[in-house]
Amino acid sequence: MNSPWDPDRYTFRDARMRPALELLTRVPVSRADRVVDLGCGIGDVTRLLAQRWPDASVVGVDSSSTMLERAAGTPSRIEWIRADVGSWAPARPVDVLYSNAALHWVADHDGLLPKLVESLAEGGALAVQMPLSHDLPSHQVVRDVLASFGEPIPQRPVSTAEHYDALFAANEWDADVWETEYRHRLTGDDAVLEWLSGTTLRPILAALDDARRPAFLAALCERLAAAYPRRVDGTTIYPFRRLFFVVRR
Ligand SMILES: C[S@@+](CC[C@H](N)C(=O)[O-])C[C@H]1O[C@@H](n2cnc3c(N)ncnc32)[C@H](O)[C@@H]1O
């Protein structure tokens, strides 16, 4: 199957960029030779990594050729690699392994994260941000509508902060784990559906039968509009919790 990711549907850039930037400020590595952005998408954040570490070789890894083509459309010194983060491994130890809003698409964090930390150079850091969106009303609505269509229900992709804290402590790694709840102020019609259409719904819509998609989207639209009413100023507030961690080697 072709990747369901679509650069043109990955909207609300400012709101999505904010956690990426906040994570970047917490990376405690001043000098780096090798920097990798896991699940780099269209490369906006990877280019910021290249600015922050101007002497480093910088690699963006993503499984979507469509996203990588868009990334490579802006000339830079960054190397773009198509690979699945679940099976990718660097040829040499890396100083900064960074991943914004991507590892929740990759299974088995208890297996993946130790592998990533072990691929760090001495003094290096793994910096990760993932949405804690499974329990949001929007994602419950998606599951309800999927169930009413007899479609498979996605599993919880991200564990709790306590779980990751315990995993890092068990390995005696120095880790900072925190959560932030944003109140994204979205503009436009059906704003939460539009937001979800860029991310959570990509694989779901790709797997749905063409004939069922319009009815599925209509049901979703109605339920999301009720869960997230538009305010008198025309905007929609979308409370959204995110998990961050920075692990040092
Ligand atoms: C929400 S986008 C985030 C992109 C970028 N990190 C950013 O912050 O703008 C998620 C990205 O993860 C990529 N992705 C999803 N599963 C992946 C996997 N198993 N291996 C590599 N990339 C993956 C998608 O192709 C997509 O580009």
CB 248, CB 168: distance < 8 Å = no
pTM: 0.94
Q: Class for domain 7-132+154-187+238-248, per CATH? A: alpha beta
Residue 101 Cβ contacting ligand 1 at under 6 Å: yes
Distance CA 182, CA 185 (A): 9
CA angle, corner 14, sides to 10 and 15, nearest 5? 80
Residue 41 Cβ contacting ligand 1 at under 6 Å: yes
What pLDDT tens digit does each residue of the chain (249 aa) get?
A: 446 767 776 678 888 899 999 999 999 999 999 999 999 999 999 999 999 999 999 999 999 999 999 999 999 999 999 999 999 999 999 999 999 999 999 999 999 999 999 999 999 999 999 999 999 999 999 999 999 999 999 999 999 999 999 999 999 999 999 999 999 999 999 999 999 998 899 999 999 999 999 999 999 999 999 999 999 999 999 999 999 999 999
What residues contact residue 204 under an 8 Å CB cut-off, 6+ apart? Answer: 142, 146, 151, 154
Closest-lying ligand 1 atom to the alpha carbon of residue 3 = 25
The confidence score (pLDDT) of residue 69 equals 97
Pocket test for ligand 1, best of 3, 37, 40 (most atoms within 8 A of CB): 40
- Indicate if the alpha-carbon torsion angle 118, 130, 42, 220 is positive or negative: positive
Pocket test for ligand 1, best of 44, 64, 78 (most atoms within 8 A of CB): 64
CA of 93 to the centre of ligand 1 (A): 22
The confidence score (pLDDT) of residue 34 equals 98
The confidence score (pLDDT) of residue 1 equals 41
Residue 39 Cβ contacting ligand 1 at under 6 Å: yes
Query: Which pair of tokens denotes residue 53?
Result: 């570490």
In our burial notation (b when 16+ CB lie closer than 10 A, e otherwise), range 168-180 reads: beeeebebebeee
The confidence score (pLDDT) of residue 3 equals 63
Of 43, 47, 120, which is closest to residue 89 (Cα–Cα)? Answer: 120
What residues contact residue 165 under an 8 Å CB cut-off, 6+ apart? Answer: 175, 177
Cβ-based burial of 207 (10 A; exposed 0-12, middle 13-18, buried ≥19): exposed
The confidence score (pLDDT) of residue 8 equals 72
Distance CA 157, CA 130 (A): 9
CA of 233 to the centre of ligand 1 (A): 33
Distance CA 36, CA 18 (A): 19
CA of 88 to the centre of ligand 1 (A): 13
Find the largest Cα–Cα distance for the chain. 54
Nearest CA to ligand 1 atom 14: 39
Q: At what angle do helices 191-198 and 213-227 cross, to 10 degrees?
A: 130
CA of 236 to the centre of ligand 1 (A): 25
